[in-house]
Every structure is written in C-alpha cells, then in structure tokens.
Structure 1
Amino acid sequence: MKGTSDTYKKDLGIELIRTSFKLRYNNSVLGFLWVLLNPLLTFLILYIVFSNFSKDQNIENYPIFLLSGLIMYTFFSESLIFGMNSLLDKAGIILKVNFPRELAVISSSSMAVINLAINLIVLTIFAILTNLHATIEGILYFIFCLFVLFILMLGLSFFSSIWLIKLRDLSHISDLVVKLMFYATPIFYSITILPFAVQKLMKFNPLAVIITAGRTGLLYGEIVEVQQVLILLLIGLAVLVAGWFYFNNQVKKIAERF
C-alpha cells in the first residue's frame, strides 16, 4: 500500500508541475521562452550599464560574475513568489480534489527549480564562450549553495502560502522585498566596494552570503564562507521542518478563505 501511495503522490506531483507550467506560460505569446528572456534581458541591460564600472572593481569575467548572480537571484525571487502563491494558484484543484496539500507547495517550488536548470544551461554556454576555468570543487560548491537556498525557500513557502491566504497584502509586501533584495545583495557589484561596516551587515543577508559564496566558488574555485553557508543550511532545515508541521496544521483551517 505504501508503494501505491508513493506512486500516486509522485504522479500527482508531476501532474501539478505540468499544470503549473501550462497556467503560467500557455496564454503568453512567447510562452516558455520567458524563462530564458527574463534573466538574459536583465543581464544585457546591466552589462551595458555596469561593464565599465566592473573594471574599477577588478572583477574577472564580469559576464559570468553578473549572470551567475542574476540566476541565483532569479531562483530566489521565483521560489518566493511561486511558493507563496501555490495554494491560491491551485485553489480550484484544492477545493475539488482530495490530495496531500503540501504537494501544491512542492510542485510550485519545483517550477523554480526547472527554470533554474534551464538558466544553468545558458550559464554553462556563457562559461564556455568566455573561457571560464572553473574547478570541479568550485562547481560543486556553487550547486551546494543553490541547494541551501532551495531548502530555505521551500521551508519559507510552507509558511508564506498559508499567510497569503490569511493576509492578501502579503503579495505586495513580497514584491517590495524582491525589489529591495536586488539592490541590497551584491548581484551586479562586488561586496568589496562597500564600506567595511556595510560588508559586516551583509553577513546578516542570507541571499548575499549564498550568492557571494557560490559565485566565488564558480569563478575562482575558492571555497569561502563555509561556516555561514552550513549555518544557513541548518537554519533552512529547521525552517523546512517547522514549516511542514505549521502548514499541515493550518491548511485545513483556511479552506473557507479561498
């Protein structure tokens, strides 16, 4: 029976991901291409504006520096938005079909992972074209940092998906957070140009820590901020477990609010 249940959950999860993909891109003229266009167009604009500025910062291979930061940031923003909206987006299915509600959150978060995988292919092509000499250790550390970010965002999604049902203004708050985090995180600039006091404050920005650590590993093969990244992993796992229990405790109580 357990095998049958696991197969059912797996098949349902895949179907929910497929449905999410159709709902998000089906009515768009460019459809799936927006997965690529969004970070690439942002990259192009920022590169044109800041490429000369990057020379003053002595950043090697600025295209990869910028694109890798954008891809990690895009993964953060999509994980936040997709996860938070997971219950509302699937309200029609949730009210009609009996299935484990956590699959709605997991499938929405998986959408962000799929988009990330596609963008990583683009990053690989750019790395080849720009002759990036990446190390195996650096690449693995970059992927590990993305995994830490995924765990943290999935845990937050179990909380935020419930909170959004209770407080619809949360969507506007999250949009503001996403915009502020873009500038408060060293995506198109190096953290080293900031005053020392601000650099110390950046240690309390999990996204800044993860992007800086992962990108340094990818670009230079250096494994940095290990202690902080591991602490964020432990925090992420704690948030994931707490979020799971909170979600399952609250999800049946909010059905009438859809």
Structure 2
Amino acid sequence: MYAERLYVAEKSETVSRPGISRGILDISRYKYLLDLLVQKEVRVRYRGSWLGMAWTYVKPLTQFIVFYVAMGIFLGLGRGGGIENYPVYLFAGIIVTNFFNEAFMSTTMSIVGNAGLIKKIYLPRELFPLASLRVSFVHFLPQWLVLMVGSILLGWKADLAGLVVAFLAFVSLSIFAFGMGLFFGSINVFYRDAQNATELVSMIAMWLAPSFYTWHQVASQLPHWGLQIYMANPIAIAVEAFHRGFWWGSTDGSFTFASGWGLSISLSFVISLLMLAIGEFTFRKLEGGFAQEM
C-alpha cells in the first residue's frame, strides 16, 4: 500500500532522476513523501504491539529506575553531598543519549529496512534515514515532556539562556546522528558488520556522556587534553546543555559547567556538520549500488 502511495506521490511531484539528484539538498522538495515514510515506519514499528507508543515511556523509565538505584543510591550520587536533584539530572541525560542511540541505529538500518521500496521506485535515498530521524524525534518528545514536568515539580525556574543552549545542542546532536546514520547506513548495505558496530557505538555513547556522573569526576581522572577531547563530543555537549536548560534551574546554582556555552555549541556544530559532510559524501558514493546489492 505504501509503495503504491509513494509511487503516486513520486509522479505528482517534481522528481530528480537518478544521476542528477542533489542528495540532501533535494529533500525539501519531497515533504509529502517524507511524511508517508514517517507514517509507514511508525505503523510498522508498532504493528502487533499491545502497548504501542507506550514503549516510548517504558524504556527510559526502566533505565531511570535501574540507574537511579545503582548510581543514586548504591554509589551515593543522589544522597547528601552528591548531585542535587539527581533524578532530574539523570533523566535529562538518559533521554538525550536515548535519542542519539535510537536516531543513529534506526538511520543506519533504514536503507536495508526499506530494500523493497528502493528496488521498486526512485526517490532520494536520504529520505529513508531522515524519516527514521523524525520518528526518533516523535519518541523523544513525550520523554522531554516528562522531564519538564519533573523539573517543574522539583522547583525548576526556566531561563531563556538555558533553553536556547539546550535547543541548539539538540539541533547539533540531530545533525550528528543523521551524519553518522548516513555513513554507517550506506556501508551497512554492503557490509552488515556496520549494524553490529552501531551497538558498540551506542554503548560507548551511553557511558561516555556525563549522564550519570558529572564532568568534574572526569576531570579528576584525565589530563587537561583528555578532558578537552571528552567534552568535544556532541553527545556530551548535548547532555550538559540539557542539564543547563532543565536541571540547573532547579538547584542552588553553584554547579559549574566545563566551558563557555558559546564555544561548546560552536564546537558541537562544527563536528556535527563535518560528520554530516562525511556521511553524505560516503552515501552519495555508494548509493548507486544499493538496489543491486539488496
């Protein structure tokens, strides 16, 4: 059904033929097709599921409980002398890293997962990973609302600077995840080892971002240059930005962040755009063989 609707939509829009596509620059011309792909992915993902979209809440809440017990109670990070309002601090980090991991893994699998459509019709292949990225955002939104409610209940006071920092860091993280997905997704068509590598990257992303601990603890164990490399990670920057936007306002304000936000956000965008360029270059180089290989 979706293949037929996509075919009709393809004929009704101005479509670039293979060989003259401008890649991600063409995406804005295919908004209707993109919406169809997002609808398809959401329906396929929850087909036969009793809980459906409720799984969007189950996973992060389960992670929160496990990590809060392990880190907050057993290791004492949530008690006196630990991290103030630790539940909000922890949950903010969890939803950011979960967004990256889902976006990265789903965009990586998007080409192989849509092999049937890719063989039947032509449309910019970047639409598939972009649709997966949008679905990841759909899943992120209710988790963010839970974070907002929790922050407000614990005395959070919003400030414009913190919200702007969090928004910009999230945009940068989305670009970074999309670039990573383009790179690994195109390679995954030819070498399925790439999808196994995504699991390792996701595990590293979860533990190397300051979601459960603070950057001060990292600084005490690393030389200065090591800390600079650690904090140049767009995932770590996004986690800290969400701490600034949705946690710091619920504390006494004594917590200090690693560096100025102007520098951190700028660095995050530079790295994310570089990753997007690398991912798109690799994708464009390999996409000619997608249909034949699958």
Same fold (TM over 0.5): yes
CA distance in structure 1 between the aligned counterparts of 2:66 and 2:191, rounded to whole angstroms: 35
Show the counterpart of 1:203: 228
5+ residue gaps, structure 2, are: 1-11, 15-26, 250-255
SS, match of residue 203 in structure 1:
helix
CA distance in structure 1 between the aligned counterparts of 2:206 and 2:158, rounded to whole angstroms: 26
Q: Select which of 184, 187, 190 maps to 1:163.
A: 187
Bigger CA drift: 99-108 or 50-59? 50-59
The verdict on how the C-alpha distance between 1:239 and 1:51 changes in structure 2, with shifts beyond 3 A counting, is: closer
Bigger CA drift: 211-220 or 196-205? 196-205
Bigger CA drift: 205-214 or 68-77? 205-214
The verdict on how the C-alpha distance between 1:60 and 1:199 changes in structure 2, with shifts beyond 3 A counting, is: farther
Partners of 1:17 and 1:107 within 8 A in 2? yes
Partners of 1:141 and 1:218 within 8 A in 2? no
Show the counterpart of 1:246: 282
Residue type matched to 1:155 in 2? G
Does 2:56 match 1:35? yes
Show the counterpart of 2:9: none
The verdict on how the C-alpha distance between 1:57 and 1:82 changes in structure 2, with shifts beyond 3 A counting, is: farther
Show the counterpart of 2:8: none
CA distance in structure 1 between the aligned counterparts of 2:228 and 2:241, rounded to whole angstroms: 11
Bigger CA drift: 203-212 or 118-127? 203-212
Counting matched residue pairs gives: 256
CA shift at 1:111, angstroms?
1.2
The one-character-per-residue Cα deviations of 1:183-213 (angstroms, maximum 9, x if unpaired) are 2222111121235342743432412233123
Show the counterpart of 1:215: 243
Q: Superposition pairs for residues 1-258 of structure 1, below 5 Å? A: 4-5=13-14, 9-52=30-73, 53-54=76-77, 55=79, 58-198=82-222, 200=224, 201-205=226-230, 206=233, 207-220=235-248, 224-258=260-294
Show the counterpart of 2:5: none
Bigger CA drift: 75-84 or 248-257? 248-257
Residue type matched to 2:50 in 1? V
CA shift at 1:108, angstroms?
0.9
SS, match of residue 247 in structure 2:
helix
CA RMSD of the aligned region, Å? 2.3
- Identity of matched residues, %: 24
The verdict on how the C-alpha distance between 1:248 and 1:7 changes in structure 2, with shifts beyond 3 A counting, is: closer
Bigger CA drift: 132-141 or 215-224? 215-224
- The two structures have a TM-score, normalised by structure 2, of 0.79
CA distance in structure 1 between the aligned counterparts of 2:151 and 2:85, rounded to whole angstroms: 9
CA shift at 1:244, angstroms?
2.4
CA distance in structure 2 between the aligned counterparts of 1:8 and 1:233, rounded to whole angstroms: 25
Larger radius of gyration: 2
CA distance in structure 2 between the aligned counterparts of 1:99 and 1:228, rounded to whole angstroms: 37
The verdict on how the C-alpha distance between 1:174 and 1:134 changes in structure 2, with shifts beyond 3 A counting, is: same
Partners of 2:165 and 2:261 within 8 A in 1? no
- The two structures have a TM-score, normalised by structure 1, of 0.90
CA distance in structure 1 between the aligned counterparts of 2:276 and 2:219, rounded to whole angstroms: 34
CA shift at 1:56, angstroms?
5.5
CA shift at 1:159, angstroms?
1.1
The one-character-per-residue Cα deviations of 1:17-38 (angstroms, maximum 9, x if unpaired) are 0111111111222121111111
The verdict on how the C-alpha distance between 1:199 and 1:15 changes in structure 2, with shifts beyond 3 A counting, is: farther
The one-character-per-residue Cα deviations of 1:37-85 (angstroms, maximum 9, x if unpaired) are 1111111221223223123553221111011000100011011101100
SS, match of residue 194 in structure 1:
helix
SS, match of residue 99 in structure 1:
coil
